[in-house]
Every structure is written in C-alpha cells, then in structure tokens.
Amino acid sequence: MPEVRLGKIFLGWCSNCDLPVLSKRCGICDNEVSEIEITPPGDFRMAFPKEIERIESVIKKQFGIDLIKLRLSIVLLNKIPDIDRMHEVIWKGQVAGALRYDIFSKREIFLPRVSFGQLLLDLGTRKYAIADDGAIESILKSSNLMVPGIVETGEFSKGEEVLVADRSRNVIAAGNSRIDSDTSEERGIGIKIRVRKREKKIDYKSKRERSFGESVDLILEANRAHMDKKVKKSIGFIKKTIEGHKKPVACSLSGGKDSLTTLLLLLDAGKKPIGLFVNTGLEFDETVEEVHKIAERFGIELIEKKARTDFWDDLEAFGNPSRDYRWCCKARKLGPMADLIEENFPDGVLTFIGQRRYESSNRAGHGSVWINPWIRKQIGASPIQNWNSMEVWLYLFSKSEHINPLYERGFERVGCWLCPASDLYDFILYKHGDYDRYVEFLKRYYTDEAIELGLWRFRKLPKWAPDIQVKVKKTL
C-alpha cells in the first residue's frame, strides 16, 4: 500500500460549482463538497492544457472517442506508484481512470474506471465485450472473462483495454484482452479483468465551457479561505524561524515551483533573502534562464556556484549515476553548495528551501528545520513542508507568476536532465541536447534493450526488469 505521508488526504468536489475544493465546504456557494478517494501519497495538481490534450489524444487513439468538446473542463492529476509514470485522472468529481506510460510498448495507456468506461460505451466505443448473464458473478470473483462467457464483441485486438458490460450494456469492469474480438474457437483464454470501483454516473455535459484561466480563477475563489490559512501559517513559521536563528537569510533557487513559492512567501513576510543557486551543469537551459529571471524580477542578490569538475570527466571516473549510486548529488550539488556557503557565509546561514513532505519518504521525516550533515554551516528550513502540489500551484496562480515552461510540457519536477530518479517517460517527453552523447557512453556498459528500458537508473535491477545481462562500470 502506498505510504500516507501527511495523514488523511482530503480532496473534495463541489457538484454545484463543478470545482475541486481542499476543505469541507465550497468557498463560492458554501455547498458541502463530496470527498474523492484518491491513492496516497496524494500529491495531486491541476493538469495544464497540453496535458489535457494528451489525455484526450490517448483516449481517442485507444477507444475511438473524440472528447475535444470536454477539453476546457477541469482535470486533476494524482501521481501514483508504478514502475514508471502513472497518474490518476480526476474529472467531474471522481477518478475517471489512470494514464500510464508502459515502458515495454513505449506508449501511454488509459485505464478507465467503470463509470468512465460507461461514458465511453455510451459515446460509441467499439472496444467492448458483452458478457452472458450467467458469467457475471464468476467474472467479478475470478477477474477473468473466458470466451464461452462472451455473447457479443465490438472490435478490439489482443493486448488492448476492453470494457466488459452486461446484456443491458451496463459496464461492470475493464481489462486487458488476451484475444482478438473475432476469436471464437479458443476456449482457454479470454479477457483479464481489472475490477475497478463503480462510482456515480458521470454527467459529462458542462454547464458552460471554461478556459484554463477562467477555471483557475474559480478554483482560487472556491479555495480562498483554505489558502489564506495556509499562507498565514507559513508566514508565521518564516518570521519565527528567522527570529530564532541570528543568521543571514537566504533562499535556495532551483527554477522550480517549490523554490519560487518559498521565495514569494519570504517576500510576503517582508523578508528579502539572498538567492542561492547551484548550477550543476546538468540543468535544462529553461531552468537556468528561469533562475536568473526570478532574481532580476524581484531584485534579489543571486549567488551562483558551479560544480568544481566537468561532468563528462566525472562520468569516466565514477560511471553512470543511478538511484542507488547517486554520486552526482554529492559531487555536483552538495559539494558546490558547501563551497558557496563557506566562501560567502563563514559563520553560517539560514536557508529557506522549497522542500515538501509529499516528495519522498526521506523528506517526510526531515522536519521543517534541519541541518544537512554534508553542509554543517547551513540551517535549512521549509515553510511549505506540509503543502501539497495543488496548494503550491494555487498560490503561484494567485500571484499570476511566470513559471518554468517545462511544467506546461508535463514535467512533475525540473531537476537535472539525466537524474536517475526521473521516470523514463521524462526522457521521452523532452530530451536534452546532450542526451544522445550520454547514451553513447551508456552503450559501453549496457545493451540497447537495457538502455531503452532505463535500467541504467538502477545498480540493483528492479523486480520488473527482464532477465538480461547488464555490465556495470565498477565504482572507484
């Protein structure tokens, strides 16, 4: 079971205003909202327009249904555990399904919940199988629909997602077919069913179309009281922390949403920090540009530090980094930051950092104030430790702030372009100009198949990895 990092997750939906709400009542109509059950850790957020278009494109390609008329409706994405990128897609007050990147077929797949599957069937998808009445109880118990229990099929191929319905065309499940729709002779195979929760029927007809900007404005209004409390508490934390530590005040800038939120909260608290930026040499150009724009926009002093060595030389010496061998963080981030602080703050510094518990179990146990054992002269503090991604985005939207364009492409985070902690999908989403050079290095030690599956990101191969030989460069 995925870890719950901040206790019970709450996400509500106002059926009257058709908006997501983070508290028990809607801030617009004061209507009591319906709670949506989502998968932990629950770091959900709004989908950007390009992401909504991508979801629609996957559904159209997979089920033959064009949802373009629904493009302007509000969609939330909740990242959930999987071997690569997978998001619950939240729409119209419920989880419509999940968008999953399959690293083996190299494609995105939409896995519909029953209620959304009903919508697809009602709209005319041909990806369905009708089960005999006598087979339904067995289907739900065994999670399989064998060929003898199928009385009618639409048009689908082996390996496709298929909706399973009863004779009244009520969808009861969805699953992956092991047969083609015209198969009639095979008796030992059928459709592997994923029995998913049935929720209320989706009323997909919007009261009126909304642009992304209009949706954001309404969501802000519906959540204003919640966000005001959140911001007030964080500002109080900032002031108290500064008063308790007689040190120069700095803010770590990364070009990402969390560090920008932290800076804006400091400014709201009446504090103008010094900006600290470690340029690892592996940042996206958009990220470096964003950091400098932020410093210029708010008129703050920016201290930038680069790694002591060339990455490609380090690569030859240490081999490729991986999730369980992250020498890159120490050599290209922590080391330079320690140098920066020693050179500029010999008596120490209080640095506000955009760290959140939702990001990892390690950060969940960090606390809001800490000292990194690698950087003893830096006191770290996070005013957004208990914020989720949705709250961060609502705060930035309320400020009408410019954001790193990588987010609108679909990135969850904007760290180093070859970070081994990234999903494989990230490298497909947007390849850095040096990615091909990096692949040429990997080819010395990994097969083409291992590289395509992103197995270079692991020293100890994960359980899902196929049985292939991987030669790994020894560490020094």
Q: What is the pLDDT of residues 163-176, one digit of tens each?
A: 999 999 999 888 88
Count of residues for the chain? 476
Whether 188 shows a pLDDT value over 60: the answer reads: no
Under the banding of pLDDT at 50, 70 and 90, the label for residue 9 is: confident
Q: Tell me whether residue 285 is in a domain.
A: yes
Q: Tell me whether residue 59 is in a domain.
A: no
Give me the residue label for tokens 């700095």: 250
pLDDT of residue 1: 37
Percent of the chain exceeding pLDDT 70 equals 88
Q: Which two tokens stand for residue 447?
A: 């097969």
Contacts 24+ apart (CB under 8 A), 223-232: 223/21, 223/22, 223/23, 223/27, 223/394, 224/27, 225/23, 225/27, 226/21, 226/22, 226/23, 226/27, 227/22, 227/391, 227/394, 227/395, 227/398, 230/387, 230/391, 230/395, 231/265, 231/268, 231/395
State whether residue 194 is helix, strand or coil: strand
Please state the domain count of the chain.
1
Q: Tell me whether residue 316 is in a domain.
A: yes
Q: Tell me whether residue 177 is in a domain.
A: no
- Indicate which CATH number applies to the domain containing 345: 3.40.50.620
Q: Tell me whether residue 253 is in a domain.
A: yes
Q: Tell me whether residue 68 is in a domain.
A: no
Under the banding of pLDDT at 50, 70 and 90, the label for residue 71 is: low
Domain that holds residue 385: 223-457
Q: Which two tokens stand for residue 102?
A: 């399959």
Whether the model clears a pTM of 0.85, i.e. scores above it, the answer is: yes
The Cα 411–Cα 120 span in angstroms is 28
Residue predicted with more confidence, 384 or 145: 384
160: nearest Cα among 132, 133, 197, 120: 120
Q: Tell me whether residue 324 is in a domain.
A: yes
Residue 33 and residue 12 in contact, taking contact as beta carbons nearer than 8 Å:
yes
Residue 279 and residue 288 in contact, taking contact as beta carbons nearer than 8 Å:
yes
352: nearest Cα among 237, 191, 196: 237
